[in-house]
Structure 1
């Protein structure tokens, strides 16, 4: 038997298995590919057919949705009922069903429903992400944990393999690192200034950074539901794919964070690099 690579010896067999599963989720096909498989048409072409005002409407709806999620996060900070609870399985299916219902409404009423539907859908997704974080041992009464949940909404858009200046092997860590500084600054401001800092420069910059990435995913979701006569059924299906994509990202992200709390970030990142998920793909 060949010796185990040195970079992975620090992790137990069970934790290596968990890390492999996490990487499979984090490096899964893009939302663009998943939605194209559902609607049977390239999403890029559908985006080009959106109304001229679509980008502005999507940007406004995305900002509103993220602000609502931030309000939820700030309301739960410091509450002891989220801390120290025994981790159990997250309610992924219940959240999928709830988001499918909002998608059905969006499919029935079309693009005009976006300002109403997206904040509801995003809030449900954020609650699901928090549920997954809790199941991986995160203390949701802590500032950093809540903002990490919010940041997952900005992790759905991964760098494309072969992108200039980006190593696809570290795609997840590149995307995560792009948000890490804003998360850290926002956490520090809330810790030092209290909940009243919800309008702070650091938090605004964090929300803007997440919105810039999340709005791309929202555009793809909206485009997938823009097919004429799409109806409620396909609208629900598109929303189910949408939340599942971010649930997978959350499972992967918070598994990595759980392992980092045990082994340290450098050891986990080194082990992550040695894992080849191409066979699983």
Structure 2
């Protein structure tokens, strides 16, 4: 699949169309935010309570394991594009849901084995969205942005500031910058993935919990990737400064009517 050239070729879109696009992206953000509450309600507990179900040794190793999983997932997701092209969002979501169910059937050992594979598929899902929005996932700057989407934490994380963090200005895109970004994202993502592990290990819920959590995670990151790359595309199409556009978007998503959908 070819990636369209995002250079502005004609006149920029109107201010009215820009505002409509911002509103549409704000609604995507609100829908993503609602997914986490659905999972927490289904599991019957707070994120902190769910995290507390993890054995202490696993909690202690989560940050380092998550950083390594992100590095491996980036390479695995990138290599997979040479074998299988972009996948429709529903297919990626179906695959992760099935994997969550399989991991849940195996209890904590099954969930631990499933986690890095699901991370790679989630990252691949984000890359597919980037391509859908017109960006080339093989470009280092786009690979950086794909990791940056993970900075929006995940559907079990209730910190709104974390959800906004991924909209910030990028560092210079170099190998060390990408490693620095992974190191910065890993602690937040480790906490969220730890909640996912604990949820999948809940007795009785088993496979159903694994499937539900993965379904929500995949939908969340699909929506947040559309927000991230949609804003970058809109900045080009509207011939607007990206930071200025992000500031407008922040105002929209922190307004009470949009913030919680």
TM-score, structure 1 normalization: 0.73
| Matched ranges for 1:224-263 at <5 A | 224-262=199-237, 263=239
8 Å CA contact 2:147–2:181 kept in 1: the answer is no
What does residue 176 of structure 1 align with?
167
Q: Does 2:45 match 1:59?
A: no
Distance in 2 separating the partners of 1:50 and 1:210: 21
Q: Where does residue 279 of structure 1 map in the other structure?
A: 257
- Distance in 2 (CA, whole Å) between partners of 1:274 and 1:49 is 37
Deviation at 1:116, TM superposition (A): 2.0
1:72-87 counterparts in 2 under 5 A? Answer: 72=76
1:144 to 141, 144, 153: 141
Aligned equivalent of 1:131, options 128, 131, 134: 128
Deviation at 1:121, TM superposition (A): 0.3
State which of 189, 197, 204 in structure 2 corresponds to 1:214: 189
Which ranges in structure 1 are unaligned for 5 or more consecutive residues? Answer: 1-9, 83-87, 190-200
Secondary structure of 1:227's partner?
coil
Aligned residues: 241
Deviation of the 1:15 alpha carbon: 3.2
Partners of 1:48 and 1:107 in 2: CA distance: 18
CA–CA distance in 1 between the matches of 2:111 and 2:206? Answer: 15
Kept in 2: contact 1:35–1:43 (CA 8 A): no
Q: Describe the superposition over 1:4-40 as per-residue Cα deviations: whole angstroms up to 9, x where unpaired.
A: xxxxxx8543332221121233355376534212212
The structure having more radius of gyration, on CA atoms, is 1
CA contact (8 A) 1:106 1:235 kept: yes
Matched, 1:97 2:94: yes
Q: Are the counterparts in 2 of residues 105 and 235 from structure 1 also a CA contact under 8 Å?
A: yes
Is 1:41 the counterpart of 2:16? The answer is: no
Distance 1:220 1:30 in 2: 17
Please show how residues 147-162 of structure 1 align to structure 2 within 5 Å: 147-156=144-153, 160=159
Alpha-carbon contact 2:103-2:114 (below 8 Å) kept: yes
Query: Which 4+ residue blocks in structure 1 deviate beyond 4 angstroms?
Result: 73-77
